[in-house]
Each structure stands twice: as structure tokens, then as C-alpha cells.
């Protein structure tokens, strides 16, 4: 029996993350955050703050991991909002493409009846296809 992995997607390599910091590449916002241990602050890769010494920088998969390490969010770049927008933006794009298939299941003792949930993509599709 195989177990499904619930591990988050892998972060980019350290070399790629350091290059993203050096160039302040906004394409990596939401992919990872970096923290500066001497200031106790974490930022998104494109933050316009003064560059930290490489030895003081730590990389994290997201804001939660940085906060568990004792760092606070940067007041300038607001990495928590950027990360959440990236995550929820991805979910919105999947929903708009029809990748979300929400169904309601009802158990009446012997059988399970499945029907579309009102207000979801499934019910909207079935309403227009009649």
C-alpha cells in the first residue's frame, strides 16, 4: 500500500533563490520568503529593502515557516499578503478553468447519493446544458 505525500512543493534551489534576491525578481513572490536573522524580519524576494549580508539570510517555504522560526513580517513588502494572494490566485485560476469539482454526498443508511452542490461549477454547467 502506498502513501500519498502531503509535503509542500519543493522550493527552488538556494542558488536560484539567492539570484532572485539579488535581482529582486517579483516572479518568485509567493514561491518562498527569506528572513534576515539579525533584524528578525522576513520578506518576499522582490522587497526593496537594503540587501542583507548573505550569511544572515535564511530561506523559508512561506510566511508560516518564517514566523515559526521567530521572524516577523516586513512592514514594507507585506510578504504574508503576497503569499496568500499567490496561493489563492492559483486556486481561483483552477476554479475558473473548471478544475474544481465539488459534489455533495448524502448517506441515507444503505446508499450514498451524489448530487451537484448549488452555486458550483457542476450545477452551473448542468443548468446551461439543459
Please state the pTM of the whole predicted model.
0.60
The predicted-structure confidence for 85-117, as pLDDT tens digits, reads as follows 665 555 555 555 544 444 444 445 555 455 554
Question: Residue with C-alpha cell 507585506?
Answer: 78
Identify the active-site residue in 43, 52, 65, 66: 43
Residue 19 a catalytic site member: no
Residue 27 a catalytic site member: no
Identify the active-site residue in 21, 36, 41, 47: 47
- CA 24 to each of CA 47, 49, 81, 102, 129: distance values in angstroms, whole numbers, following the listed order: 7, 10, 17, 39, 48
Taken in order of first residue, the domains within the chain and their CATH numbers are 14-94 (3.40.10.10), 100-128 (no CATH)
Residue 75 a catalytic site member: no
The predicted-structure confidence for 115-126, as pLDDT tens digits, reads as follows 554 444 444 444
Amino acid at each position: 500500500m502506498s502513501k500519498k505525500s502531503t509535503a509542500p512543493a519543493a522550493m527552488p534551489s538556494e542558488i536560484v533563490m539567492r539570484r532572485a534576491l539579488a535581482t529582486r525578481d517579483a516572479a518568485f513572490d509567493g514561491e518562498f520568503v527569506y528572513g534576515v536573522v539579525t533584524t528578525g524580519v522576513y520578506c518576499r524576494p522582490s522587497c526593496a529593502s537594503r540587501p542583507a549580508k548573505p550569511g544572515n539570510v535564511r530561506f523559508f517555504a512561506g510566511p508560516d515557516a518564517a514566523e515559526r522560526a521567530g521572524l516577523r513580517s516586513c512592514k514594507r513588502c507585506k510578504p504574508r499578503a503576497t503569499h496568500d494572494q499567490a496561493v489563492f490566485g492559483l486556486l481561483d485560476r483552477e476554479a475558473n478553468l473548471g478544475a474544481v469539482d465539488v459534489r455533495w454526498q448524502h448517506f441515507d443508511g444503505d446508499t450514498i447519493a451524489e448530487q451537484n452542490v448549488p452555486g458550483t461549477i457542476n450545477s452551473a454547467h448542468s443548468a446551461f446544458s439543459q
